[in-house]
């Protein structure tokens, strides 16, 4: 049996990244929520705030037998899957993200380019966790066909709200 902890990614409920991170730590689960320092302007001042680098993603370092404990944590939607199994993230990748955020502020995450015919997964909004097929891309928008109730629903999404599907 493998007793080595591995890094995985879990989807959080929308805007729950920081809350989920705290709940995972409370449950004794090693977790990482990369936070980006961003300058926000209010009418009377500028302020640096920390916002999650990856929308709806929190990283967990766990043993294989801790997956159910993670799934049961309030705020967890599911693991991010790759080829039918929870995606394993290399330790080096986590370290790169940590070093990158130590060195830079106001970082922008730009998703991989999507192409026509590709299957994508919706990460936010009404269609969260639904998969569809890309029919067109333009600038920062992606038109996606989602099958529902025997119909083809065509919707336009910001690239930031999509990830590559199965």
Q: Could you tell me if 94 and 128 lie in one domain? A: no
The whole-number pLDDT of residue 43 equals 85
pLDDT in tens, 13-45: 999 999 999 999 999 999 999 998 888 888 888
With tokens 């302020």, the residue in question is 47
Read off the pTM: 0.66
Shared domain for 147 and 81, answered yes or no, is: no
Domain containing 142: what range? 119-164
In a domain, 110, yes or no: no
H or E element at residue 100: helix 91-103
Residue 70 lies in a domain: yes
Residue 108 belongs to a domain: no
Residues in the chain, pLDDT under 50: none
| pLDDT reported for residue 144 | 92
Which residue, 50, 55, 36, 22, is CA-closest to 128? Answer: 55
Angle at 131 between CA 77 and CA 144, to 5 degrees: 130
| Residues 11 and 92 placed together within one structural domain of the fold | yes
CATH code (residue 139): 2.30.30.30
- How many structural domains comprise the chain? 2
Mean pLDDT score of the chain? 89
pLDDT of residue 152: 87
């Amino acid at each position: 049996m493998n007793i080595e902890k591995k890094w995985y990614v879990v989807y959080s409920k929308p805007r729950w990244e920081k809350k989920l991170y705290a709940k995972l730590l409370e449950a004794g689960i090693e977790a990482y929520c990369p936070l980006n320092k961003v300058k926000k302007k209010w009418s009377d001042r500028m302020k640096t705030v920390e916002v999650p680098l990856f929308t709806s993603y929190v990283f967990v370092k766990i043993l294989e037998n801790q997956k159910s404990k993670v799934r049961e944590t309030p705020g967890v939607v599911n693991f991010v899957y790759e080829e039918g199994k929870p995606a394993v993230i290399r330790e080096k990748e986590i370290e790169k993200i940590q070093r990158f955020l130590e060195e830079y502020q106001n970082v922008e995450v730009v998703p991989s380019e999507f192409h026509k015919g590709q299957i994508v997964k919706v990460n936010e909004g009404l269609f969260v966790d639904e998969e569809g097929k890309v029919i067109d891309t333009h600038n920062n928008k992606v038109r996606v066909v989602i099958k529902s109730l025997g119909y083809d629903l065509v919707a336009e999404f910001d690239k930031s709200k999509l990830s590559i599907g199965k």
